[in-house]
Amino acid sequence: MRTFALILGMVIVGFGLFALDIFGFAVGFGILGGLMIEILIRLNDNDKRLRKSNPGPRHTKSERRSWVERIEE
């Protein structure tokens, strides 16, 4: 929720500066570009964390062998 509030605040500030003319235009796009980079970095980190914390079930060889026998029947 804090991340969403931060994103919303940065978007509001970015559009506010965007409305100020040429200087605001440059600064606004700089802020929005930085915000997009931050979002992509966070999404990538969250994706890595999810993959690391949930790699999937690890089965023993005997369990796999019993499944193969059941499938072959």
Span 28-66, pLDDT tens digits: 778 888 888 888 888 888 888 877 766 667 777 777 777
CA 6-11-13 angle, 5° bins: 95
Whether residue 69 has pLDDT greater than 80: no
Span 4-23, average pLDDT: 75
Using the structure block, give the residue that is written with the tokens 């949930």: 54
Could you state, in order of their start, the residue ranges of all structural domains in the chain?
2-72
CB 42 within 8 Å of CB 3:
yes
What pLDDT, on a 0 to 100 scale, did the predictor assign at position 73?
A: 61
CB neighbour list of residue 29: distance below 8 Å, 6 or more residues apart: 14, 18
For the chain, the helix, strand and coil percentages under 3-state DSSP, each to the nearest 5: 85, 0, 15
| Whole-structure pTM value | 0.41
